[in-house]
Chains A and B, each alone.
Chain A
């Protein structure tokens, strides 16, 4: 064993602890199954007293700001820098799914100041009156002309700006190529056929109806967003046939892919990048039939308790310098040209982050109706209980 130093500073300790927390405890599925979004706490918020407070806070925005976001989606150093600059401490609530986030806001009293909705949820938040229109005068770092409109347009509903782009990404699959016997995996057809053949007992699908059903629909060449009865019936049959061959229905796929229990899984960009970086034989594949393209946004919920701090935090995270650090930490591409200018060339040429145009163009954004369709929800329940 190596000798551990006797003294580590409080700051260092918190950093290490948070890194540990970030890496191993806040996993999508973990939170998803436990519904622990709210409870998955935010060690930082629990110990504000440990941190040195700046003698002078720039503008009085209060002592805290509460952010509801996804796992492994920020650089903790940026939050420290925000606290240094403003005196407001960033308290992070990590969530497992958009549905869960929506459920929490619908139930009321979330106490959040900033949250990170995905493109297809924003119209629902607007119609449910759960989202605050944004005042761009309070977001000087937001430069609409710098954003690729493909990843920014869902932030506006009927001409009103409700959300500004955070990151975008794709949903494909990760496959451990050391088990494919040289067979090239390129499509969702390959994904399901191989699952029911040589990969039996080794494949994972998301515990998320949007992507699991959507990708099963792509097997037949249907739209990722289909709610047509006959098309959903085909997808259901495929999923139920495949179920005995699945290793798990879970969105927490990294541990199983890493330890070799699972050989293939539905996968989001950042996870694909992280897996590929650590284990090069794990490849990230976008189905040639298409699949999902998504874009996450920063938004402020109606009645946010610390409105000034909310604007300050969003503005801070939109600063290209800060945003570039975020991208380097989480591995999801940004749609902001100013940020991309600051990123290393190797990252911008990475085929996992920035797929080839023909693969990218085949992808679809999820639709609001896909998220809220009761038939898809029931299909997922039948699949899981089959």
Chain B
């Protein structure tokens, strides 16, 4: 077996997977998006841009998604970074593994069940009752955008913690000692060494969370009481309720395009940041 054949053979499973599970379905969605809705639902083949012309009818869903996805990503980052920093830098190594496992443990239960649990925590007999007891009355948490944000941060936090943890864990501690020896304050050390070196982790974490958030539908439906409408919810309704596959496909294709554009811009920004980081380290 030549080296070349071996390479091809090893790439086969992943290649087949991508072809069958990604490219083919995407092609089907693309073809459907130019079709028309059949009277009883489903799709009639056609070549029309009608579905795309209708897109403004789901503008609110796109707007909500494009607002909550970055806000949720940023909030998850702000909460995850200190935690990852603590786990990677501060904590006694003998506790490290246990604490890391504790971050993973929630993944053993389905996100569905865990989000459902939040309904009770945020419902009238949960946190609001506790607040009431200490004198803060009339707080409503469940079925608000805030509840959705809480659910999102809770659900996606581990995805943010791990990449950042890995980048901080590999950080060469001697750099920190050197900075200290050269008289840098702790804040300066963090700003000029720790933070720039953890950028790859931040970038990966943000990307993971952001992409998943763009397609999120479960958390808004459960914790937003169906009143917070994302593109994901629009898609579920279009395919499962009104069975308008043609229009649903057009919305799906648009979501993919919006994501590609956002992620491209994001990558450019990260690369530029990476470039300027080298300037910093030379200085």
Contacts and interface: CB of A to CB of B under 8 A. Distances in A.
Interface in B30-50: 37, 39-42
Nearest to B64: A385
Contact of A36 (B112, B123, B143, B222): B112
B119 A201 contact: no
B60 interface: yes
A256 B226 contact: no
A207 B143 contact: no
Interface string A357-371: 000000000000000
Interface in B225-243: 225-227, 229, 233-234, 236-243
Q: Which of A256, A260, A385 has the most CB of B within 10 A?
A: A385
Contacts of A97: 240-241
A220 to B, nearest CB: 23
Contacts of B241: 97, 99-100, 208-209, 377, 380
Contact of A249 (B40, B225, B234, B244): B225
Contacts of B61: 385
Nearest to A255: B119
A381 B57 contact: yes
A103 B40 contact: no
A59 B60 CA distance: 58
B124 interface: yes
Nearest to B57: A378
A39 B244 CA distance: 22
Contacts of A249: 225-227
Given A201-B140, A384-B237, A261 B123 contact: yes
Interface in B108-126: 112, 116, 119-120, 123-125
Interface of A: 30, 32-36, 97, 99-100, 102-103, 106, 124, 127-128, 201, 204, 207-209, 243, 246-250, 255-256, 259-261, 372, 374, 377-378, 380-382, 384-386
A248 B57 contact: no
Interface string B55-99: 001101100100000000000000000000000000000000000
Contacts of B142: 261
Given A33-B236, A102-B41, A382 B57 contact: yes
Interface in B206-253: 217-218, 221-222, 225-227, 229, 233-234, 236-244
A372 B40 CA distance: 6
29 contacts: A30-B116, A33-B221, A33-B226, A34-B112, A34-B221, A97-B240, A99-B241, A106-B243, A208-B241, A243-B227, A246-B227, A247-B225, A248-B226, A250-B225, A255-B119, A259-B123, A259-B125, A261-B123, A261-B125, A372-B39, A372-B243, A380-B242, A381-B234, A384-B237, A385-B60, A385-B61, A385-B64, A385-B229, A386-B60
A380 B227 CA distance: 12
Interface of B: 37, 39-42, 57-58, 60-61, 64, 112, 116, 119-120, 123-125, 140, 142-143, 217-218, 221-222, 225-227, 229, 233-234, 236-244
Given A35-B240, A106-B42, A259-B124, A384 B226 contact: yes
Q: Which 6 A-B pairs have the closest CB atoms?
A: A248-B225, A377-B242, A249-B226, A33-B221, A385-B60, A385-B229
B130 to A, nearest CB: 14
Nearest to B225: A248
Nearest to A128: B40
Contact of A374 (B112, B229, B240, B244): B244
A382 B237 CA distance: 12
A289 to B, nearest CB: 25
A373 to B, nearest CB: 9
A253 to B, nearest CB: 11
Contacts of B64: 385
A35 B57 contact: no
Contacts of A32: 240
Given A35-B236, A106-B40, A250-B226, 6 more contacts: A33-B217, A34-B218, A97-B241, A100-B240, A248-B143, A377-B242
Contacts of A209: 241-242
A298 to B, nearest CB: 21
A127 B226 contact: no
Contacts of B140: 201
B123 A256 contact: yes
A260 B236 contact: no
A382 B242 CA distance: 13
Contacts of B239: 103
A100 to B, nearest CB: 5
A201 B143 CA distance: 10
Contacts of A124: 40
A385 B222 CA distance: 15
Contacts of B119: 255
A32 B123 CA distance: 20
Nearest to A368: B40
B42 to A, nearest CB: 5
Contacts of B242: 99, 209, 374, 377-378, 380-381
A386 B30 CA distance: 28
A102 B116 contact: no
Contacts of B227: 243, 246, 248-249, 384
A36 B222 CA distance: 14
A201 B140 CA distance: 9
Nearest to A372: B40
B243 A260 contact: no
Contacts of B225: 204, 246-250
Nearest to B227: A249
A154 B222 CA distance: 35
Contacts of A243: 227
Contacts of A208: 241
